[in-house]
Chains A and B, each alone.
Chain A
Amino acid sequence: MRRLLVHSSLRHLGRHPWLTALSLLGIALGVAVVVSIDLASGSALRAFERSTDAVAGRATHQLVGGTSGLSEDVYRDLRLRPGAPVSAPVVEGYVQAAVGDLRTLTVLGVDPFAEGPFRDYARGEAVGDVGQLLTRPGTVLLSERAARALGVSAGGELPVRVEGRQVVLRVAALLAPADEDTARALEALVLTDISTAQEVLGKEGRLTRVDLRLPGGEAEAKRLEATLPQGVELLRAAARAGTVEQMTRAFRTNLTALSLLALVVGMFLIYNTMTFSVVQRRGMLGRLRAVGITRGELFALVLGEALVLGVIGTVAGVLLGILLGRGLVGLVTQTLNDLYFVVSVRRLALEPLTLAKGLTLGLGATLLAALVPAWEAARSAPVTTLRRSTLEEGSRSRAPRLALLGLGVLGLGVVLLAWSTQALLPAYAGLFAVLLGAALLVPWLTERLSSLATGPLGGAFGLLGRMAARGVRTSLSRTAVALAALMVAVATTVGVGLMVSSFRGTVVSWLETSLQADVFISPPSLVARRGDATLAPGLAERLRATPGVAGSSTIRVVKARANDIPTDLLVVDFSRTGARPYRFKEGDAATVWRELDASPDTLIVSEPFGFHRNVGVGDTVRLATDEGPHDFRIVGVYFDYGSDVGTMLMPRATYERWYDDRGVSGVALYAAPGQDVDALVTAARERVGDTQALMVRPNRSLRQASLDVFDRTFTITQVLRLLAIGVAFVGVLSALMSLQMERARELAVMRATGLTPGQLWGLVSLQTGLLGLLAGLFSLPLGVGLAYILVHVINRRSFGWTLRLVVTPETLVQAMLLALVASALAGLYPAWRMARANPALALREE
């Protein structure tokens, strides 16, 4: 008996190959999007961790200093003291290769004599003359793989760019790492002696950190800490590792949530397919019930079918996800590089956990979506199962109840969203509740609206018009699902689209106010949104003295540790300009600037900083300065959309009071009245000369460059949006197609009673067009609602930004077009088939 059931199932799926294939595609796409995003962002993170691990080695603790690292004397004194702990000095920085694939390379400067206890890769086998590391300036080691990718060999030259300078390194030897992990970590690493690292990176006299091994644990750490000079801090090595994970958490969570939206749309697809297959076979199922098949067995039958589809679709989805992920990893990496840190990802890290997660999600979603149809199949009595009309009557009578339920779910979603918490999970739960609630409203709304449409459509197209409208109503069990799927999909694209355009609008107006100077000069930086490179000494002064300059300011961007978390600190010298291009969220501008100038214990923080640390005006931030930890009072919170983790700002005078660093990362020049800006740019370029390759940009081009970076960081979001559209499209296609195919007999009857193929075509097109129109209409309010949630709840909770929601008509028109085009396309094939089919054949019972 069971074999018979299985056989009938398979036969059924086989008889509708296109629908089966479409639902497989739907599942596969949904799973693929989730898996690919997970893989891509996971790989980027792994790559970063690996390089951090390789660089951190087996240190248990680290000594770190202020913004410019710590003096090498600290290390010397540590080594010379009795009972010195096991230690190793490290100078670390980034350069960009000027050959090969121009990859970004981490320069790791170490002392070979102190390295042994810390880093293993260095113990492997090297080919070439390692001894030159100490005696010949500019000598480095590369891994064999990196050397191959860069096209250099042992004894060859490796030109690199550092903050606009070109430096030629000599590759003394190639390292052949012992294992794959080390090999990957070394792919973007230049290993060199500490002397060369200091010279290449311009960090003479300074160390990035001192690695320590303190087997005595915290007790030993405490003892050591007590003896450290001012401005030197002892950190646990483990504390460092978590910061990257934390820094990018919001970014990754949002990507994952967006990818889940695609899966939700995919779920509607499964639901649709399974409902369809149940409805199709209502006669068969009724007969099965009549011959003694139990409800449980029918339930299992439908779920079993779903499982088969789910397994195939999910496996395909995971594979497709790997393919997509390979493509997306570049985009994700680019975004991470623009926003957070320097990482170069060479390949996908296939984590079994990610793949398992994808499989579970896919299967879970399929089974969940099949529950209702399975329950419906099992529920009906033997006789009623035979009648389609019973089902539709049930659907219609259930519609108001579903709508009420939908309202309830919507209400729940709103409550969840309004819940004042910083947690992202309730926000996303609320978002999905809103989607679900809206979907539950669809049947009732469809019924009402299609009733309303009967009149006008009848007026315009006569009988066919009325039939089309009524058809939507009479097959509510099917049309509602298709509509809901289409609505959710289109609404997602509307919501994400509006969110991005609102964000962009806010950034554009922020750039208007914050970029007031006429010419900006800075060295090229490896993280686009963090210009922390340094101008050659003396260059800033020379530039500020360019004739035709009425005023100027300089900026220094450094990483400072605020309450032990590395954070960007902007140091601005406002002494030669009256311009203060900052707008304040908290604090009155005049008071803020007065207080900043008056007290060397004050600073201002950006909106995301205040949000993440939960601080505001009047609170204090503890910075690790070169004079030791010091508390600074926050006197203002400024708007800033440059960094989602937040920044701090202090005047140059305050910085120089607390830090030894005297570097300058950028100069802004204000043209004198009547001074031609282009001429000023040329003059500034001439002043720079060959000292350093600097970017000298007029206001307009910097603004454009900033927007380009912004757009680049949202590319991945746009791609996700497109993928969601793809899934939605497949969903609509399969929903509407199955709807029309299922009406084959009905249409055949019409053909038999005299409807011409052209009229049939018109009928089908009208009906799918009506569905598309309805879906478009439904999706607009939902889409705007989604955008509101994304902008005011999700974005705020993730990054703390205040954005202005702008509803752009283009996005809405786009959405309508999408819905209509998808439905029009979906109507084509069934109409064509029905018009061609021999009515007599179609009329034959199955």
Chain B
Amino acid sequence: METTELERIASQVRRDIVRMVADVNSGHPGGSLGCADFLTLLYFDVMKINTSNFTMDGIGEDLFFLSNGHISPVWYSVLARSGYFPIADLATFRKLSSKLQGHPSTDKKLPGVRVASGSLGQGLSVGIGAAVVKKMNKDASFVYTLHGDGELQEGQIWEAAMYAAANKVDNIIATIDYNGRQIDGDVEDVLSLGNLAEKWKAFGWIVFEMDGHNMIDMKNVLLKAQSSCGEGKPIVIIMKTEMGQGVDFMVGSHKWHGVAPNPEQLESALAQLEETLGDY
């Protein structure tokens, strides 16, 4: 897909995000806005998926697991916009009896979601399990996971990292949303990750880095990552993003991690984001 078209979709996704969280005065706009470009590219251009007929097993399809489940608004928007469920359902986000729970879940059968997430650190293990089974099933498609950088403070991530390298799980592409922010402040101040690329390398992973707001760079890196699959090592992409990207008063601050804009702020945000595909 053309870069300009992907950017148009991402703009609409950002409108969806701020409208969804403002509507219920809750949710996580910061990380959602930061990952809007990546998830748009992944779902509209990179992944081999069947959005009209969702199956839990996803045989022959690429799989995606959102480990940092709090950025559900961006995922829900991209899932709806790519055809997994009606766009109108976005209006039910975080409301009673909705399939669009605050954090993603499977129990209300939302198409596109294969495991619950929200309690951090669990999605890499799940992705590795699914990747191992793809190999057993001789299914050549890929498994993608997305993690927050703050999430890497969870120990389970490193248990999983060790397993995947030791067992040559080389059909998984994990991406880290490296925005440097978490709820209490900068990751560097809360609990520094040290040299993140070197950490992953030391754990035996192939490491790529990319600009999470540059569609062309991301596409190139994702293609390189795909072609590195099968080389006996798991793959991680450290994706530099800005929390709150696209909205001038949110960008680059941890303060919008989990706070919704008020009506005036929403208006200001929407004025900066072109309505390209029609609001839900």
Q: Is the A/B pair a real complex?
A: no
Question: A-contacting residues of B (Cβ < 8 Å)?
Answer: none
